[in-house]
């Protein structure tokens, strides 16, 4: 037996430090090669780290909440001869492997109770002691993914069939899974079931006003994701001269088109929303105004002939902007799948650094928060960000008559160093024209 230490690795380009968010092991626990041992938060993403050893944990060298420099040891493990030389999987690959996901899903299905702290999810435990595979005080013995991820055995409960990402989504949206009727096989709760339940509730579901804190003030350390967001937003607002334009749009035909897509067999099982049409409209409009898909440098303007389409996503840990690589090559169906996967990954806190790099243009959908419009700040390095407000019924003049129509507001902010008013106006008008008549996408 010998003691080995595990230094914090660089899980993304240029990473210098990361914060320990959750430990999934404790001293005395047995760990297997590539078993998830902890989660770290980099500048904008949550990453699971797999164990590079098979052995027994002897010491945790960093505490939850501690920021650790890359290369500093965070874990000590007592290993048997030869086990330390086995290859180590990349953290992102280990976290996203199909085998791991299936194992976690099986473990979640067997845990049929949500305790007072909420669902027990990968990376979002209840804050109690980490469960190991050793029997303690007569507790049931846990195996495999259930042991690795801190699943808590419960004697009795009503069955709730939902995979970890669905449980996390329900928690974020304030949905009680016990009240949701699952539409999946054997009553499994699916993503659409949770979203439907959340939609039926009031946007302001937490009507009760919380009690005022006893303390006169609270000091929150500026670190991790919030520190990175602040730095990026200040850089963007001070370096790029923003100019914004917006227009109201009759999106009735878009809503009808979305309804037809939802009933189409080709889109069965795929999330379809007005955001899909908005994204496709942007891709169409970029071909007509390629200047908006550019980056400004001190010596040149780089015009991109590919589109890495960023989707701004609000997560429990803050704003992230992952992007869909080469979105210009995707069909409407493939784009729908890509948006759905991007959204689920972001909400689960699993967006990896590479997924947020090299974006060329961004969408922000503030309509999901009930807002009509706002003036978004550019994602650093990009020329344009478009926003779509809520779509709701309003009076609209059609052929000289006032009729109820589904109306939204679209527009955005642009880097005035790269594009002038005519380009900006034409681009927004093109996007609006597609929302008014989606048949233009067939051109």
Task: Supply the residues annotated as catalytic.
Answer: 416
Name the burial class of residue 262, with classes exposed (0-12), middle (13-18) and buried (19+) by CB atoms within 10 angstroms of its CB. middle
* Structural tokens at position 225: 């994701």
Instruction: Please tell me whether residue 318 adopts helix, strand or coil conformation.
Output: strand
Q: Choose among 418, 410, 346: nearest CA to 383.
A: 418
> What is the rounded CA–CA span in Å between residue 368 and residue 320?
16
Going by C-alpha positions, the residue among 109, 263, 81 that lies closest to residue 182 is 109
Residue 244 parent element (H or E): strand 242-250
**Tokens encoding 253:** 């035909």
Residue pair 17/69 in contact by the 8 Å Cβ criterion: yes
CB 199 within 8 A of CB 180: no
The beta strand positions in 42-156, using DSSP E, are 46-50, 55-60, 67-69, 73-79
76 φ/ψ angles, rounded to the nearest 5 degrees: -120, 130
Distance CA 107, CA 180 (A): 20
């Amino acid at each position: 037996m010998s003691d080995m230490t595990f230094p914090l690795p660089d899980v993304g380009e240029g990473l210098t430090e990361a914060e320990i968010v959750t430990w999934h092991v404790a001293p005395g626990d047995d760990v297997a090669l590539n078993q998830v041992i902890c989660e770290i938060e980099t500048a904008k993403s949550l990453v699971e780290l797999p164990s590079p050893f098979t052995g027994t944990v002897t010491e945790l060298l960093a505490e939850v909440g501690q920021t650790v420099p890359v290369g500093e040891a965070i874990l000590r493990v007592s290993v048997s001869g030869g086990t330390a030389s086995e290859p180590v999987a990349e953290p992102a690959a280990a976290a996203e492997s199909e085998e791991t996901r299936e194992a976690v899903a099986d473990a979640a299905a067997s845990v049929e109770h949500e305790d007072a702290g909420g669902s027990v999810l990968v990376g979002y435990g209840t804050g109690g002691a980490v469960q190991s595979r050793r029997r303690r005080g007569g507790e049931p013995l846990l195996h495999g993914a259930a042991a690795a991820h801190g699943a808590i055995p419960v004697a009795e409960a009503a069955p709730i069939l939902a995979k970890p990402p669905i449980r996390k989504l329900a928690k974020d949206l304030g949905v009680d899974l016990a009240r949701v009727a699952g539409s999946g096989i054997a009553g499994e709760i699916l993503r659409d079931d949770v979203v439907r339940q959340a939609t039926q509730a009031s946007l302001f579901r937490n009507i009760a006003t919380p009690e005022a804190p006893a303390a006169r003030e609270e000091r929150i350390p500026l670190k991790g994701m919030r520190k990175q967001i602040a730095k990026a937003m200040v850089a963007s607002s001070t370096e790029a001269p923003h100019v914004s334009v917006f227009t109201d749009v009759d999106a009735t035909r878009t809503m009808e088109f979305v309804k037809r897509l939802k009933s189409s067999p080709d889109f069965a099982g795929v999330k379809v929303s007005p955001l899909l049409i908005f994204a496709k409209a942007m891709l169409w409009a970029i071909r007509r105004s390629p200047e908006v898909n550019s980056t400004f440098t001190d010596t040149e303007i780089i015009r991109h002939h590919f589109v890495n389409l960023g989707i701004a996503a609000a997560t429990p840990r803050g704003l992230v902007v992952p992007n869909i690589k080469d979105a210009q090559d995707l069909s409407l169906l493939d784009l729908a799948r890509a948006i759905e996967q991007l959204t689920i990954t972001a909400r689960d806190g699993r967006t990896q650094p590479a997924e947020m790099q090299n974006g060329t243009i961004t969408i922000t959908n503030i309509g999901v928060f009930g807002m009509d419009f706002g003036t978004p700040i550019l994602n650093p390095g990009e020329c344009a960000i478009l926003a779509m407000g809520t779509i709701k019924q309003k009076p609209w003049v059609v052929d000289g008559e006032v009729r109820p129509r589904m109306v939204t507001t679209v527009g955005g902010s642009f880097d005035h160093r790269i594009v002038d008013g005519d380009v900006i106006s034409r681009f927004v008008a093109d996007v609006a024209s597609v929302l008014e008549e989606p048949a233009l996408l067939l051109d």
